[in-house]
Amino acid sequence: MKRTAIIRRTPLKRGVCRIKPRSEKRTKDEARYKQAKTEYQLEHPKCEMPGCSRSLLRGDLIDLHHKAGRNGPLLYCKKYFSSQCRQHHDYIENNLSWSRSNGWIIDLTTDQVRQIRAEEG
């Protein structure tokens, strides 16, 4: 049995139900993070690893390391930030047991994160 093609009289509307790439809350959090990151790096332009001389002032690349992660309010909480050069940041990320024992990575409980959320408002 031969079927005929469906003929559409009106074109389909496109882009009406597009999902936003970022929510409004995420956009606000990222703006707050950008400001906190800039302020922290102005206060701490050098790599914070003992014995390292790399610095933003010399043109070196300095990353912002999040000791307690980036979830929720930890994204912009300066208490858990650390300025690290790329080499030391990679070392911290690749050697987790050493990083935990030396305080470069901190594991927080859910209650501690809730307390930070309440403090940050």
**Residue 59 pLDDT more than 80?**
yes
**Residue 94 pLDDT more than 90?**
yes
The residue type found at 100 is: R
Average pLDDT over residues 25-39: 93
> How confident is the model at residue 93, as a pLDDT?
94
**Residue 18 pLDDT more than 80?**
no
Q: Are 75 and 89 in contact (CB under 8 A)?
A: no
Average pLDDT over residues 26-38: 93
> How confident is the model at residue 4, as a pLDDT?
73
Partners of 83 in beta bridges:
64
More confident residue, 109 or 99: 99
- Cα distances from 89 to residues 5, 18, 21, 53, 62, in angstroms, run 60, 37, 29, 14, 9
**Residue 121 pLDDT more than 70?**
no
Rounded distance, CA 79 to CA 120, Å? 11
Query: pTM of the entire structure?
Result: 0.75
